[in-house]
Structure 1
Amino acid sequence: MAKGKYEQWLTEEGLLQLEAWARNGLTDEQIAANIGCACSTLYDWKGKYSEISEALKRGKDIVDIQVENALLKRALGYTYIETTQERVDDYDPHTGLKTGSHMEVTKTVTKEVQPDTTAQIFWLKNRKPDTWRDKRDVGIEGTLNTNNPFADLSTEDLKKLINHD
């Protein structure tokens, strides 16, 4: 596919390629480089041709969902089954000669990954920022009353007090 011509990226093949690049995690800058155009050109194309914009969005949405699911799984913890296999030699029962080998399961263990507090904190700070963010916006209302014994003195009076002390 020739690079740099928007028409070629509006074909079914071109749109699939754009979606695949986005799904593989490439940035718009990297995709533009693959196309053979400036990033600003790709942005123009996204604005003019909804097919290009939608293909890139579809690709990025898939990866975003996968990452969200992985983060949630890590935050909550999970179990998995680990199997160990070993190569076992096969022998002919009549001749006793080796005829080959095969993999045989020798151990199956259920393992548990504990919930990850860092993933939990990250999730909560982003999903419920009003409750979990570190920085709080606090507003203060009302007036501040101070007892200033010099409030009624003029500048001239204040200078006299300073010079006499």
Structure 2
Amino acid sequence: MADFFGVSEKTVNAWKKAHPEFLQSTTRGKMMADAEVADRLYQRALGYSHPAVKIMQFEGAPVVVPYTEHYPPDTPAASLWLRNRQPWKWRDRTQHEIMGENGGPIESISTVTNDPIEAAKIYAKLMNL
């Protein structure tokens, strides 16, 4: 916006502080732009169709042929939409909390053993088996 008005960013920020209606207007503009992008992302995620025309030539004369252009659903767009709208369901990483006995801290193992039976006992204790 500063470039458009030919001023510095600092000046635009001062205008926002001095003129609440200017701040509200810029905020509304950002919200409208965000809504438009969200709508387009949504359409891309689901796939969409729209009327279009092809212009061809037949025996030297232009011919306009109407048709419906179809764009199939876009998996990355759907994934982005879902990860942002419902992160608790769709996030890429899941968190696992590991606890010791009765929900307490995990006890450290101070001795390393080569005995498979002893190692199994330690493992079973750590896993509360």
Same fold (TM over 0.5): yes
1:10-38 per-residue CA deviation (whole Å, 9 max, x = no partner) reads xxxxxxxxxxxxxxxxxxxxx12333332
- Read off the aligned partner of 1:133 and give its amino acid letter: R
Percent identity, please: 31
Aligned pairs for 1:10-159 (under 5 A) are: 31-86=1-56, 104-105=63-64, 107-141=65-99, 142-146=104-108, 148=110
Gaps of 5+ in 1: 1-30, 90-101, 150-165
Q: How many residues align?
A: 107
Bigger Rg over Cα: 1
Give the C-alpha shift of residue 58 in structure 1: 2.1
Q: Structure 2-normalised TM-score?
A: 0.65
| Residue type at the aligned position of 1:64 | D
Gaps of at least 5 residues in structure 2 are 112-129
Aligned equivalents of 2:52 and 2:3: distance in 1?
Answer: 42
Distance of aligned partners of 1:109 and 1:144 in 2 relative to their CA distance in 1, 3 Å threshold: same
How much does 1:147 deviate? 5.4
Question: Post-superposition shift, 1:104?
Answer: 4.4
Q: What's the TM-score once normalised by structure 1's chain length?
A: 0.53
Partner SS state of residue 58, structure 1: helix
Alpha-carbon distance between aligned partners in 2 of 1:147 and 1:84, rounded to the nearest angstrom: 73
User: How far apart are 1:86 and its partner, in Å?
Assistant: 4.5
3-state DSSP class of the match of 2:14? helix
> Closer, same or farther in 2 for the Cα pair 1:82/1:147, shift >3 Å?
closer
Larger RCO: 1 or 2 (CA < 8 Å, sep 6+): 1
- 1:76 to partner: Cα distance: 0.1
Report the CA distance between 1:137 and its aligned residue: 3.9
Q: CA deviation at 1:88?
A: 7.6
Task: Find the counterpart in structure 1 of residue 125 from structure 2.
Answer: none
Q: Return the alpha-carbon distance in structure 2 between the equivalents of residues 145 and 78 of structure 1.
A: 56
